[in-house]
Amino acid sequence: MTSVNPYLFFHIFIVTIMLFVMGFYCIFFTFNLVRALIGVELLIKAVTLLIITAGYVTGHMALAQAIVITLIVVEVVFIVVATGVVIGLHGHNGTLDTRKLRNLKG
């Protein structure tokens, strides 16, 4: 393992935070169910990047890879179930608009 350029890690850290801002903005400012899930996916991408970088920087690359593989499996199952719920909601409401979700309150 070659020596790591510390500045590169710093840039990756900044990029991760930028992706976080995008993801949370996407979740909170959209009125579309699918787009909210896409925001969640973007956040998971940011976390994946962070874990891989952490493994590279600390020299525990193998452990980081093992973790990310499990993470990807979990992510896929999560997305499948979530899209199932979205399709079910669409079947009831006929729309993907979150503003129609007013049946329950807080």
- In the range 36-55, which residues lie near other proteins by CB under 8 A? 36-45, 47-55
Give me the helices (H) in 1-106, please: 6-28, 33-58, 61-93
Integer Cα distance of 47 and 49 in angstroms = 5
Residue written as token pair 């994946």: 48
Query: 52 CB contacts (<8 Å, ≥6 apart)?
Result: 64, 65, 68
The distance of closest approach from Cβ of residue 94 to other proteins in the complex, given in angstroms and rounded to an integer, is 9
The distance of closest approach from Cβ of residue 28 to other proteins in the complex, given in angstroms and rounded to an integer, is 10
Q: Per CB under 8 A, does 99 bind other proteins? A: no
Which positions from 68 through 97 interact with other proteins, judged by CB under 8 A?
Answer: 68-93, 96
The distance of closest approach from Cβ of residue 97 to other proteins in the complex, given in angstroms and rounded to an integer, is 9
